[in-house]
Structure 1
């Protein structure tokens, strides 16, 4: 299976500070969970994959497009949906207005944008609230609206940064259902999270980052098997994650 996105020797940073260091990464259809402590570089990695910030060095390809210019970045963005942890919106927009606007930003053709917006809204089960103003929605509905904005136009690559922060258990179950449906449609999803249980529930693979580098990649069960019995954590997956970080000196 050809990767939807590829990073080769990618370095990223701000000023003289390196945040991503010589990273090689393939992203294929399915759900890749991205774990790592604060400051590991997860958000910077997603922003780089989303072509928001160009890499300082290395090569990025998305759907076969080498992202080596602004023009190439605009072409690649048609295939990318990105939901940052904190996304801005006009509170007076309706759900439909917001998702339709995001379709325009992604370059969805005008003759397809209306249908694409309504399909995305239906996908996250917000059809009955499509005419509601965003300021009237609950936190969970806002998150689902954000996911609709990320998937409008059916992008091949969907990047989600801490999408379940602040959601209650029922809302997180709804979110997981949406992610499973994206996986069933052969979408490549990268899910950055601190919540190991979300990884266990929906991810096909896990990548653990620390200090701007990929520390480990494999299946959730393999990560659980990597745990030491005496490691901190309330589940095998948490103990596996904490064991990896301890081995690399990423935690005290």
Structure 2
């Protein structure tokens, strides 16, 4: 990953009358990252994305795109061309065909032939809609319409993609298709900021995560660092015999913090302090003690658990 900064904000603030939607926000996104933005409704995510997309002017603060300051009091067409913005409510024109819709936006961005035609074919192939190029938009499924919206967002070859709740309302298959496209765009070198309430999708896609609460960016870090710092290791341990010998053994182990029975199974869920080597030592000690272990599955708390944990910390 490049060390170049794609997005930087300093003291970014947006106030609507008496309400502060984004407050004194400092954000840095490296080139080539997929940066996930999470937080409850009303946290300021959409307002932040709109400011980065030049659709909303900050009350106070500075925004830099690709190292150049974004100025709202003068035209910046060269900077705006670097940005692709997909809001959660962008309208489609149902009476146009897929090809005509994309060509319309390509012409708005002054793409000229033969490059324009090549670009249309490329983005249609990328979003898996080449077979629908002559279909009316009204006939597309919701997932296809969202992929078409993404194609429109990248038609002008931006280097920064801003996606606000792009998988909202999509079924699991449509979400999976959308994730595959995002991965392809990242592999091509695009920097992507994506907000979503589907945290499992972000956990699969993102290199870094930002968490917003009441307009503040309360956490911003690489995803791996968040897991290391905030995600407890859990181990599901199953046995053929009764649970009592297993429970007694676990109580004597210094790395075990808590153990609870998994309802309906001969299994304990164990909160464990230690790395994978320590987990292997625990398994070895269980077997040596003669406990008939049938399952030993180390896992880590997921992104949703980390988010809820941070929310409780902020509230307390």
Write 1 or 2 for the structure with the bigger share of strand. 2
Q: Distance in 2 between matches of 1:135 and 1:235?
A: 42
Q: Is the 8 A contact 1:227 1:243 kept in 2?
A: no
Q: Is the 8 A contact 1:224 1:238 kept in 2?
A: no
- Residue 227 of structure 1: how far off its partner (Å): 4.3
Which among 211, 222, 243 is matched to residue 309 of structure 2?
243
Does residue 92 (structure 1) correspond to residue 158 (structure 2)? The answer is no
Q: Is the 8 A contact 1:91 1:133 kept in 2?
A: yes
Q: Is the 8 A contact 1:199 1:220 kept in 2?
A: no
Does residue 36 (structure 1) correspond to residue 28 (structure 2)? The answer is no
- Residue 69 of structure 1: how far off its partner (Å): 3.5
Residue 272 of structure 2: aligned partner: none
Residue 20 of structure 2: aligned partner: 18
Q: How does 1:1-252 map to 2 (within 5 A)?
A: 1-28=3-30, 29-69=32-72, 71-105=74-108, 107-111=109-113, 112-225=115-228, 226-227=230-231, 235-249=301-315
- Residue 110 of structure 1: how far off its partner (Å): 2.7
- Residue 47 of structure 1: how far off its partner (Å): 0.5
RMSD: 2.0
* Structure-2 change in CA distance of 1:200 and 1:16 (3 Å): same
**Which structure carries more relative contact order (alpha carbon 8 Å, separation 6+)?**
1
Cα deviations across residues 198-250 of structure 1 (Å, max 9, x unaligned)? Answer: 111111111111111111122334334414689xxx95221111001111119
- Residue 157 of structure 1: how far off its partner (Å): 0.3
How many residues are treated as equivalent by the alignment?
246
> What TM-score does the superposition give when structure 2 sets the normalisation length?
0.73
Q: Is the 8 A contact 1:78 1:108 kept in 2?
A: no
* Structure-2 change in CA distance of 1:169 and 1:2 (3 Å): same
* Structure-2 change in CA distance of 1:241 and 1:44 (3 Å): same
Q: Is the 8 A contact 1:8 1:60 kept in 2?
A: yes
Q: Distance in 1 between matches of 2:126 and 2:173?
A: 17
Q: Distance in 2 between matches of 1:221 and 1:5?
A: 20
Provide runs of 4+ in structure 1 moved above 6 Å: none
Q: Distance in 2 between matches of 1:95 and 1:71?
A: 34
Q: Distance in 2 between matches of 1:114 and 1:13?
A: 43
Unaligned runs of 5+ in 2: 235-257, 259-299
* Structure-2 change in CA distance of 1:215 and 1:104 (3 Å): farther
Q: Distance in 2 between matches of 1:17 and 1:205?
A: 28
Larger Rg: 2
* Structure-2 change in CA distance of 1:143 and 1:208 (3 Å): same
Q: Distance in 2 between matches of 1:175 and 1:49?
A: 22
- Residue 70 of structure 1: how far off its partner (Å): 5.0
Q: Is the 8 A contact 2:54 2:72 kept in 1?
A: no
- Residue 2 of structure 1: how far off its partner (Å): 1.5
